């Protein structure tokens, strides 16, 4: 599948909230299985890893381990001075990701929470994916440094 934006993300961005105000302090969840049809839907699959700053344990609302982003126009980048790390928490095959903001997101259906869903692929594959990893097989001992990440925000209504 391709990148999916939640209704909450689109409405908040159209309401002039910045990408950083929505996602700084959040994390990227890595899950097994097939990506939901849209980012408003409940999560599918098992949570097998999180990407956080420094690989630290992530707690909603705590800025310590949360990801931070730099923005240039419609391009969003991993802050180059930050170290991001995928830390495995269970065994499984990575199938998709969900970027969540710093607030509590229990993974249920929501049209208000900002979320971005995307596909995962192995480095070297020529497919539409938002995260490329050296392996899709994750265990509770997996550690993978994420050296580069970017997202191009599509035009939102009114832009």
For 8, the domain range is 4-152
Whether 159 is in a domain gets the answer no
Q: Enumerate the H helices of the chain as residue ranges.
A: 7-14, 19-23
Whether 158 is in a domain gets the answer no
| pTM, rounded to two decimals | 0.93
For residues 70-99, one letter each, b for 16 or more C-beta atoms within 10 angstroms of the residue's C-beta and e for the rest, the string is: eeeeeebebeeeeebbbbbbeebebbbbbb
Whether 119 is in a domain gets the answer yes
Whether 96 is in a domain gets the answer yes
Per-residue model confidence (pLDDT) at position 150: 86
Contact 43, 36 (CB under 8 A): yes
The total domain count for the chain is 1
Whether 90 is in a domain gets the answer yes
Whether 157 is in a domain gets the answer no
Going residue by residue through the chain, which has 159 residues, state the pLDDT in tens, using 9 for 90 and above. Answer: 689 999 999 999 988 899 999 999 999 999 999 999 999 999 999 999 999 999 999 999 887 899 999 998 889 999 999 999 999 999 999 999 999 999 999 999 999 999 999 999 999 999 888 999 999 999 999 999 999 888 887 665 554
Per-residue model confidence (pLDDT) at position 16: 84
Whether 125 is in a domain gets the answer yes
Whether 83 is in a domain gets the answer yes
- State the Cα–Cα distance between residues 109 and 5, nearest whole angstrom: 13
3-state secondary structure of 31: strand
């Amino acid at each position: 599948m391709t990148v999916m934006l939640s209704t909450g993300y689109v409405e908040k961005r159209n309401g002039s909230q910045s990408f950083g105000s929505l996602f700084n302090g959040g994390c990227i969840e890595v899950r097994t299985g097939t990506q939901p049809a849209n980012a408003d839907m409940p999560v599918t699959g098992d949570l097998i890893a999180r990407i956080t700053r420094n690989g630290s344990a992530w707690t909603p609302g705590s800025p310590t381990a949360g990801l931070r982003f730099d923005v240039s126009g419609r391009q969003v980048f991993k802050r180059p001075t930050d170290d991001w790390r995928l830390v495995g928490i269970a065994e499984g095959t990575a199938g998709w990701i969900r970027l969540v903001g710093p607030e509590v997101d229990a993974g249920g259906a929501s049209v208000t929470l900002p979320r971005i869903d995307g596909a995962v692929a192995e480095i070297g594959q020529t497919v539409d994916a938002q995260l490329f990893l050296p392996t899709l097989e994750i265990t509770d001992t997996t550690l993978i440094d994420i050296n580069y990440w970017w997202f191009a925000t599509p035009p939102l209504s009114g832009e």
